[in-house]
Structure 1
Amino acid sequence: MENFRPKVFKEQALAALQGNWKQAAIAGLVFLLIYGATAGLSQLIPVVPVLFVGVFFAAGILFVFWDLLKEGKVDLDKLFEPFRDYLRYLVGFLLQNVYTVLWTLLLVVPGIIKSISYAMMSFIMRENPDMTGEQAICRSMKMMEGHKMDYFLLNLSFIGWALLAILTLGIGLIWLYPYMYTSYAAFYEEVKKDYETKNAAAA
């Protein structure tokens, strides 16, 4: 579908970031430092820092740039938002990881496909505060029906930028994170619209 081409989401992201790159880069730097620290601690305490802290910041950075897309401003406070509903998000993240690991144990490809199916969970949980992690995963799977390849191609389109960021010793990630996560937010808005349109037509 034309609306789901990576170029469409990346153009929306760049439009939202115009005039906001300085604040976006600061958000990217803060996320890089925090997530890097949790990943480092995982060398001492395997899995625990990333799963119980890092993934919350990974959801928070999505929220920062989702709000940038919708409201036109960067609010670093949103980086910490998932911690304010810790238990609900924790259950969601645990289920998401357990399901992905179980599918990966069968074969790597099914694991990748399922991880893509669950990719909208954090957005859904934020937009539906009464929804459990399990319900959000189910909603994400339904939303992603017919769009998993679209999301895969969107991620694939950032490989060149990621390699460039690595060549700059990771410094480029400060700008890549805003670009990527704002694009993911744009993808969510479009896939949500498509899901709601299909549901309305089926009603």
Structure 2
Amino acid sequence: MWYYAIYNRQHGPVSPSEIERLIEQGIVTADTLVWRAGMNEWQPASRTPLAEKFPAAQTLGDLPPIVDTPSARPGYGQGIPQDRGLPPPTSFEVPAGANARALMSLASDMMSGRWSTGIGFCLIYGLVYIGIQIIPYIGGLINSVLFGVLEVGAMRFWLTYTRGGEPKTDQLFSAFPIFLKTFLTYLLYSAILVVAILVAAIPGGILLGIAAATGTDFDSPDLSPLLITGFVVMGVAVAFAGGILALMLSQVFYILADNAETGVFESLQRSRSLMVGNKWRLFRLWVLFGLLSIGCIFTLGIGFIWLVPYSRCTMTCFYESLLSQERNNA
């Protein structure tokens, strides 16, 4: 098993095949410091048995020192060259089944010293959304059309951020080459939710229809038991069906951001598969951040400057935990 250091941070262990893949992708270069059992000290990769994996033209440059810090966790802080805004591969694992507290703690560690990057990105994303929204008559429609492509771009930023890469603000627009796919995914996602909500509302609607047919006065302050039951049944059914489906399909845009080759139906199916047994975990995160959002209201909204990027980072850690679980079950 190999260990490697990038930007003064240690990563690993990784298997021989994985270190070769990192070399092919340009993540581990000839002057990257590496180590494995049996070596007395860290050495540039070109001075180890890995040397034959590099093109002959590669030469050594100045070598960075190894800094042993508490935050030197696997995959954190590594500099990974980006190609077309795509996020780097996962080089560490968020524990499968990590609870809300663990995920929020991990996100806090990842953002330490890098809050400005996350905050700046969220502010720019917000300004883009508001700028489009204020376009007279068609602003809302344009935002609906662009939601999928911008959300996938945002997910690429956060995947890069949490994987220790070098996130760039322009990643927000990096998914436009797959615009049609993101639009169709969002369209299908929305259609599924709308249909499910309409179907779930039928029983309550029937009760309300019966109440209306029996002469119930909807404007009367004394509502009939049948009318109350109809509203309750409709509200509970709609909330339950909408919530379950929203949780089930919550990872769709992460999946597209992580692999642009994933198809529309495949992304929906994979999200459903990843969320099996994990809906309650995500629901608790939603509730926690919902409560924190209420608290931010009392700060005149200033707290959202920190809460929004923090929640994004935490949700990305949740996605990484799903990937860990998927690998463990493979």
Change (3 A) 1:8 1:40: farther
Match of 2:111 among 9, 14, 17: 17
Match of 1:60 among 150, 153, 156: 153
The number of aligned residues is: 198
Which residue in the other structure is 1:70 paired with?
163
- Once the two structures are superposed, the pairs formed by residues 22-33 of structure 1 within 5 Å of their partners are 22-33=116-127
Which residue in the other structure is 1:135 paired with?
266
- Once the two structures are superposed, the pairs formed by residues 41-190 of structure 1 within 5 Å of their partners are 41=135, 44-45=137-138, 47-107=140-200, 108=238, 109-190=240-321
**Structure 2 counterpart SS, 1:130:** coil
CA RMSD after TM alignment: 2.2
Change (3 A) 1:112 1:130: same
Larger Cα-atom Rg: 2
Unaligned segments of structure 1, at least 5 residues: none
Q: Deviations over 1:87-135 (max 9, x none)?
A: 1111111111111111111221112111111111111112222221111
> For residue 122 of structure 2, what is the amino acid of its counterpart?
G
Query: What is the distance in 2 between the residues matched to 1:172 and 1:44?
Result: 31
Q: Does structure 2 conserve the Cα–Cα contact (< 8 Å) formed by 1:158 and 1:180?
A: yes
Q: Does structure 2 conserve the Cα–Cα contact (< 8 Å) formed by 1:35 and 1:54?
A: no
Q: Deviations over 1:8-54 (max 9, x none)?
A: 1111111111111112111111112222334445x833852222123
Q: CA deviation at 1:161?
A: 2.1
Query: What is the distance in 1 between the residues matched to 2:152 and 2:259?
Result: 15
Q: TM-score, normalised by structure 1?
A: 0.87
Q: CA deviation at 1:72?
A: 4.9
Which residue in the other structure is 2:6 paired with?
none
Change (3 A) 1:128 1:35: same
Hey, which of these two has a bigger chunk of strand by percent? Answer: 2
Change (3 A) 1:167 1:36: farther
Unaligned segments of structure 2, at least 5 residues: 1-94, 201-237
Moved over 6 A (4+): none
Q: Does structure 2 conserve the Cα–Cα contact (< 8 Å) formed by 1:24 and 1:74?
A: no
> For residue 139 of structure 1, what is the amino acid of its counterpart?
R
Q: CA deviation at 1:71?
A: 1.6
**Structure 1 counterpart SS, 2:138:** coil
Bigger relative contact order (CA 8 A; separation at least 6): 1
Q: CA deviation at 1:56?
A: 2.8
Hey, which of these two has a bigger chunk of helix by percent? Answer: 1
